[in-house]
Amino acid sequence: MKIRLNREETLNDLYNLVLNPGTREWERSLLTIAKNSLEEKANFDTLLAKLEAQLRPLALRGTLTPDVTDFYNKLTGNSATSPSFDLTKHYTNNVVHQDSAIFAGGCFWCMVEPFETLNGIVSVLSGYTGGEIAHPTYDQVINQSTGHVEAVEIIFDTRITHYEELLTLYWQLTDPTDAFGQFQDRGNQYRPIIFVRNDNQRALAEKSKQQLVDSGKYKQPIVTLIRPTTIFWPAENFHQQFYKKNPSKYKKIERARKQLMVYQQLHNKIQAKSSWFN
């Protein structure tokens, strides 16, 4: 194993992970021991090799918490799989020609790529919204203890694309008849919701929803909610642009969604194919 960190950087990472509310207690215990040992001038390479071995079993199963996963990738020299997402590029600095939209439609891993590849998209950020507490963690959200849903916040250039185009794509990516999740993603945190930031977005969202109802595309009621925006909390760095960092796993998930869409077609739940899933 090739260690690519220095003592000062590692101590800083360990300190932040120990204080991170998203770190699980057993992870925090291991990280605290490592931090204290480094502060006491323990052998750097030996200690990190031991820590890597302790974290490895759950890292291989993909069950470390997101920020600890990023640290493990740095520890093993695989930091290219989890580059830091630049939040500064996401927040608009051109209020005249930029707008934002927030959509929830199942796991946010599968919502990013379709929107990012549209013309006029400035940034797509995965996160949590619609809940009851500040700074929710991934574990809290997937345990359905906060009321949040996984969602994406999209910054777009209004000179190139329009909110209506985002709505059109959103309906293609989701099952608007499923109030209890999306495809293989089950639970309240995966509910389909359009979050609107003003009266204009609400009117356009309501219009597009009614058009979908009138189209007769679905044989079951359209249950996608339209709600006012609430604070959007960015997800951990591990989740940002997941399709680029973990292409193999992403393709498996995307394939499963497509298969479920085909299943719906075969059982006459949906009467027309979605262009995204062709």
Active site residues: 107
Cβ atoms of 42 and 66 within 8 Å: the answer is no
b/e per residue 128-157 (b: at least 16 CB within 10 A): bbbbeeeebbbebbeeeebbbbbbbbbbbb
Nearest Cα to Cα of residue 80 among 255, 250, 247:
247
**3-state class of 251 per DSSP?**
helix
- Chain centroid to Cα 44, Å, comes to 34
Cβ atoms of 27 and 63 within 8 Å: the answer is no
